[in-house]
Amino acid sequence: MFFMERNGARNIICLQKDNMKLEKNTVYKILKLFIISLPFVSFGLTIGEETPRTFCLSFLIILVLGVLIFVKGRGLILDATAKTFLIFVVIVLIFVYYRVYIVAGLDKSSHEYVKYFTQPVMLFFVVIQFLVLRSVLRDLDKRVIHKLIWFFIIVSFYVAVYSIYQFLALHYDLPFTDILRTSKSYRAITSELMKSGGWLSLPRACAFMPEPSFWGTYLLLPIGLMLPFVFGSKNNKIRCMFFIFLIAILLSFSRTAFMGLLFIGAIFVFYRMKYRSEMVKIINMCIIISVVAFILIVLFAPMEKWFFQRTITLGDWSALARIETQIQSFQLFLEHPVIGIGWGGTPYFLEGIHITTYNFYLQILLETGIIGFFVFMFFLYQVWNKLKIFESKIQSSEDKDMKNLAVGFKLSFLAILINWLNHTAYNLSYIWFIIALLTVLPNIYRNTEGNKK
C-alpha cells in the first residue's frame, strides 16, 4: 500500500513537470512567432475600405499569449514599474475625458471626437502588450532570454538583407520592391517617398516598415544588442551580420537613425575604453564603415545634389519644417501647461499641414501636461533602474555572455530613448518587447541563479 501511494505521488509530480515543460515550450514558440512579427509593422488585418484600420499582427499574437496566461490561472503580475505605467494611462483617460466632455463638448459624430477616442484605445493595447510580455518573460532564465535575443537579431538580419535588395531594386527598377506591406494607408503614403528619396535624393529602403525612418531606427535595436558580442568575440559570422546591419541603416537614409547610431556607438566606446585592443578594433571598424559609406554615396548619389550640402546645412524642407513645428508645439504647451490638450489632440491644435510634434517627449508634454510628463519620465527612470540593478548583480559573475547582454540591453534602451527625440511612434511592438524585458531582468537573474543551484 505504501509503495502504491509513493508511486502515485511520483507519477503526479512527473505529470506536473511534463505539463510545465509543455507550457514553457508553447510559450517559447509563441514568443518566437511574436518576434518574427516585429519587423512587419505595416502588415496586418485591414478592416474597412474607405477608412482602413489595420490591426497589427503582433497585437494578435499577444492576445493569444494573454489568453494562455489566464487559462493557466496565473494572471498579470504588477510591480512598481507596471503600476507607474498604469497610473500614466489613468491620467491620460481623465485628461481626455475633461477635454472632450467638459472643455470642448465635442459631438460624438465629429472626427475630432473619434480621434480622442481611438488614441487612448491604442494606448490601452500597448499597456496590455507590456503587461502580458512582462508576465511571460519574468519566468524565463538567462539561457532562454539569450536564445530569444539572438532569434530577434537573426530575424532582423534577414529583413535587413531584403532591405538592401529593396534599395537596389528601386534604383534599377527590379521587381519585389514592396512586398508584405498590406496596410493601404502606409502603401499610399510611402510609395513615392521610397522611389524619389528624401534629403539625399536617392531611393530609401524601408523593408516592411511604414516609412524609411522607422526602419532605420528599428535597426538600432539589433545593432545595440550585437555591439558587445561583435567586439567581444572572434566570430566572423557575427561580424558579417553586423556589417549587413550597418549597410541597411545607411540605405534607410534616416538622420534619426544616424544620430542614434553615433550616440550608442559613443556610449559603447566609453564602456570599452579600458580595453585598448578592443578600442583599436572599434576604430578600424569605424574607418572601414566610413570608406564604404563614402563609396556608396559616390556611386549612387546625384552629383548635383551633393551629400554635404543637404546634411550639414539641413537645407531641406523636411528638417526646417520639423524644427518649426516643434517650436509651435512648445508654445502650445505653454498655453496648456498643467493637463495638456488631451491624448491624441495634437492634430487639432497645430497650424499648417503637420499632425505631429516629431518628438514623443514634446508630444507627451503637450497632450498630458506637466503631470503626465513627469509620471512617464518616472516610468522610464524605473526601467533604467531595473537595468542598473541587473548590471550590479552580474558584476561579480564570470558569465561573459550575461555581461554582454547587460551592455546590449542598455544600448538598445538608449536607442529607443534617442529615437523618440525625432519620432512620436510609441505603439510599435518591438519597443515594448525591449522595455518589458528590461523591467524583469532582476527576475531573470534570480531564475538563472536558482537553476544553477
- Taking the chain (453 residues) in runs of 10, the rounded mean pLDDT of each run is 46 44 74 92 61 67 85 77 93 84 61 71 90 90 90 96 91 80 57 56 82 90 92 81 93 88 86 58 61 55 46 53 78 85 80 75 90 94 92 79 88 93 88 94 79 60
Q: Which of 433, 429, 420, 41 is closest to 256 using CA atoms?
A: 420
> Please, which residues bridge with residue 47 across strands?
53
Residue 294's alpha-carbon distances to 194, 198, 286, in angstroms, are 21, 18, 12
What pLDDT score was predicted for residue 82? Answer: 92
What pLDDT score was predicted for residue 46? Answer: 58
Grid coordinates belonging to 335: 498655453
Grid coordinates belonging to 437: 524585458
Integer Cα distance of 190 and 171 in angstroms:
16
Exposure string over 408-423, b if 16+ CB within 10 A, otherwise e: bbbbbbbbbebbbebb
Grid coordinates belonging to 322: 520639423
Q: What residue type is 202 in one-letter code?
A: L
What pLDDT score was predicted for residue 268? Answer: 86
What pLDDT score was predicted for residue 376? Answer: 95
Which residues contact residue 371 at a Cβ distance below 8 angstroms, ignoring those fewer than 6 apart? 91, 338, 339
What pLDDT score was predicted for residue 397? Answer: 72
pTM here is 0.83
SS3 53: strand
Which residues contact residue 429 at a Cβ distance below 8 angstroms, ignoring those fewer than 6 apart? 34, 37, 38, 41, 56, 58, 59, 62, 129
Phi, psi of 47 (to 5 degrees): -115, 125
Which residues contact residue 126 at a Cβ distance below 8 angstroms, ignoring those fewer than 6 apart? 426, 427, 432
